[in-house]
């Protein structure tokens, strides 16, 4: 099964909550991944920041490669970087199953999305809160996934921006039902149900998982709140 097929196999799954590993204990990375696997997560979300497109610097290719070696779970890589065209092939080679990049960093996104599709990796765009949906509309047929940011990319500790809900509703109306709508930023017990009601299918969660000692219970509570069960 190709990386893209692994992602598309989750398209109709209910209750897809993706832990954002940015919040995990990197000093005990293998232990953290095992705990998430035991908690029943279906995929992992990795945030790559370059200190240029966004003001923070996180991790890059070596960490993504290390995580690939540690788990068979699908890996969803969110590139918050300038000039994503220079790095797409390298991140494909790390073993990423899905790669998303910002339309703000590459307004003419079509060729890069086609490049990912040819590589048999799931392709997607990311849209910041202040960017209109019109910026991604021309490229929706080339996307397997569209990530709606509910905070400004790269800044920590921000409040959830309800404009993301408007974008999710708009995108659901304008896109194929096959397009996966993902939401990231301030997703917690207070906001997760609204995200799902607006059309969000994949929910990226950081502190609402990692601030708890029992990841399985935290994820089940999120699923119960969002989807009405603990799928």
Q: pLDDT tens across 155-169, in order?
A: 666 789 999 999 999
Q: What is the pLDDT of residue 229?
A: 64
Distances from the Cα of 103 to the Cαs of 10, 62, 151, 211, in angstroms? 24, 25, 15, 31
Q: Which residues of 105-117 are buried (b: 16+ CB within 10 A; e: fewer)?
A: bbeebeebbebbe
Q: pLDDT tens across 71-122, in order?
A: 999 999 999 999 999 999 999 999 999 999 999 999 999 999 999 999 999 9
Mean pLDDT of 215-219: 97
- Residues with a catalytic annotation lie at 47, 184
In whole angstroms, what is the distance from residue 67 CA to residue 94 CA? 9
Q: What is the pLDDT of residue 55?
A: 87
Q: What is the pLDDT of residue 12?
A: 82
The domain segmentation of the chain, as residue ranges, is: 3-225
Count CB-CB contacts under 10 A for residue 90: 13
In whole angstroms, what is the distance from residue 219 CA to residue 25 CA? 17
Whether the per-residue pLDDT at 154 is higher than 90: the answer is: no
CB-based contact 176:137 (threshold 8 Å)? no
Strand-pair partners of 49: 80
Closest CA to 36 of 44, 28, 25, 48: 44
Whether the per-residue pLDDT at 48 is higher than 60: the answer is: yes
Mean pLDDT of 197-224: 95
Q: What is the pLDDT of residue 143?
A: 97
Average pLDDT across the chain, whole number: 94
Q: What is the pLDDT of residue 228?
A: 82
Query: What CATH fold (topology level) applies to the domain 3-225?
Result: TIM Barrel (3.20.20)
Whether the per-residue pLDDT at 7 is higher than 80: the answer is: yes
- Tokens (6 digits) for 184: 């990231």
Q: pLDDT tens across 104-115, in order?
A: 999 999 999 999
Q: How long is the chain?
A: 231
């Amino acid at each position: 099964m190709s990386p893209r097929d692994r992602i598309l196999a989750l398209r109709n799954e209910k209750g897809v909550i993706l832990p954002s590993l940015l919040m995990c204990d990197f000093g005990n990375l293998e232990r953290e991944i095992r705990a998430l696997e035991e908690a029943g997560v279906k995929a992992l979300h990795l945030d790559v920041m370059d200190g240029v497109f966004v003001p923070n610097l996180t991790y890059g290719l070596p960490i993504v490669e290390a995580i690939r070696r540690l788990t068979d779970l699908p890996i969803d890589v969110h590139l918050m970087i300038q000039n994503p065209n220079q790095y797409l092939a390298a991140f494909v080679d790390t073993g990423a199953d899905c790669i998303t990049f910002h339309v703000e960093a590459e307004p003419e996104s079509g060729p890069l999305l086609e490049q990912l599709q040819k590589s048999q990796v799931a392709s997607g765009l990311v849209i910041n809160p202040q960017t209109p949906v019109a910026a991604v509309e021309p490229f929706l047929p080339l996307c397997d996934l569209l990530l709606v940011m509910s905070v400004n990319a790269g800044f920590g500790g921000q409040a959830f921006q309800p404009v993301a809900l408007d974008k999710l509703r708009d995108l659901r109306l304008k896109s194929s039902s096959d397009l996966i709508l993902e939401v990231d930023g301030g997703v917690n017990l207070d906001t997760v149900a609204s995200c799902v009601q607006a059309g969000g299918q994949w929910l990226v969660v950081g502190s609402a998982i990692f601030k708890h000692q029992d990841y399985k219970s935290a994820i089940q509570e999120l699923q119960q709140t969002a989807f009405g069960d603990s799928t």
